[in-house]
Copies of this chain bind each other. A is one copy, B any other.
C-alpha cells in the first residue's frame, strides 16, 4: 500500500529492541504479574476464565503493567505490591477492551475474534465488570489508599472519554481540541495512572509522582495518536489488526480532522457521506487512504505524536537515572515508531 511505503522512510529498526530492553529489565516481575493474572481471573463460573483468558491470552504487549513495574523498580521498591498493581492495571485495561468490543461491535481485536464476536455482548459486559472488580480487590490488598484514589479517578475519566468519543463519532466538525480531550481521557489517563501508582507504592515524593504522571500521560497521548495513524496503515494488517476500522466506525481521529480541514468541496462531500452518513461503498477506503496521503496528514499526526513523546522524555529527566529510566526513554521511540 502506497501510504505504508511512504511512511516507512522513517523506519526505525531499533524500536522493537527498545521494548525488548524494558521487557528484559522487568521480566522476573512480569512473570509474577502473569501468574497473578491467571490466578485472579479464575472463578468457579467457568465461562469467566474462558472468556477472560481469550482476551488476556491474546496478549498484547502488556505495556501498561510494564510501566507500573518499571516505575516501582526505578524508585528502588522492594516488595511485591507492585505486582498486584500491575495486574490491576492490566485488568482495568482488559475490562475496557471487553466493554469497548460491545461498544464498537468490532470484529477483530489483536488478531483474534473479539470476545464479543465469540460469546456475545452479554458475557463480555459482565466479565469486564468482574475483572474491574478484581482490579479493585488487588489494589485493596496493597493497603495503599492513594493507589485506589488514582485508579478510581482514572477509571471515571476513561469512561467519560469513551462516552465523549461516542458523541464525536460521525461528526466531521469535531476539532483537534475535542479529539485530544478524548484520547487524553480514554487512553492516556490509564498510562499516567499505571506509571504513577508504581511510583506511589515505592514511596515516590510529590515531584516524582508528578513526573511519572506526566511521562505516562504524554506517552499515552503519543501512543493513541500513533494508533490512530496505524488504522490507516498497511503495517496494521501485519500486526493482525483490521485496517480501516475507524473509517468504517466513523471515528473522527486526527488524520481525518486534518484532512477535513484541507478538503475541497468534493472531498468534504466524500467525508460527509462516508463518516457522517456512514454510506460506505466499494473503493471508499482506498479513496480515503489517497486523500490522507495527498494532504500529508498521517505524517503530520505522527509529528504531533513526537511532540508528546518529547514532553514524556522531559518528564523523565527529574527521575533517578539508570537502566530503567533509559529503557523508559527508549519506550517513547518504540511507541511512535512501531508504525514503521
- Interfacial residues, chain A to chain B (CB-CB below 8 A): 43-45, 47-48, 95-96, 99, 102-103, 121-123, 125-127, 129-130, 132-134, 136-137, 139-140, 143, 145, 148-149, 152-153, 155-156, 158-160, 162-164, 166-167
Q: How far is the CA of A62 from the CA of B195 in the complex (A)?
A: 38
Query: A155 to B137, alpha carbons, bound, how many Å?
Result: 10
- How far is it, in angstroms, between the C-alpha of A323 and the C-alpha of B48 when the chains are bound? 44
B123 touches A102 (CB 8 A): no
Given A102-B102, A136-B148, are A127 and B48 neighbors across the interface (CB < 8 Å)? no
Q: Is the CB of B44 within 8 A of A160?
A: yes
Bound CA span A102–B102, Å: 10
CB distance from A60 to the nearest CB of B (A): 20
Given contacts A47-B167, A134-B156, contact A125 B102 (CB under 8 A): yes
Point out the residues of chain B lying under 8 angstroms from A126, CB to CB: 99, 103, 159, 162-163, 166
Copies of this chain, how many?
A: 2
A159 partner, pick from B96, B130, B140, B162, beta carbons under 8 A: B130
Q: Across the two chains, which residue of chain B brings its CB closest to A151?
A: B136
Complex partner residue of A99 from B44, B129, B152, CB under 8 angstroms: B129
A-B residue pairs in contact (CB < 8 Å), sample of 28: A45-B163, A45-B164, A47-B166, A47-B167, A48-B160, A99-B126, A99-B129, A102-B121, A102-B122, A103-B126, A122-B166, A123-B166, A126-B163, A126-B166, A127-B159, A129-B158, A130-B156, A130-B159, A132-B155, A133-B153, A133-B156, A133-B158, A133-B159, A136-B152, A136-B155, A137-B149, A137-B152, A140-B145
Residues on B with C-beta less than 8 A from A122 are 102-103, 166
| A140-B152 contact given A99-B129, A132-B132, CB 8 Å threshold | yes
Question: Knowing A121-B121, A122-B102 touch, does A130 contact B48 (C-beta < 8 A)?
Answer: no
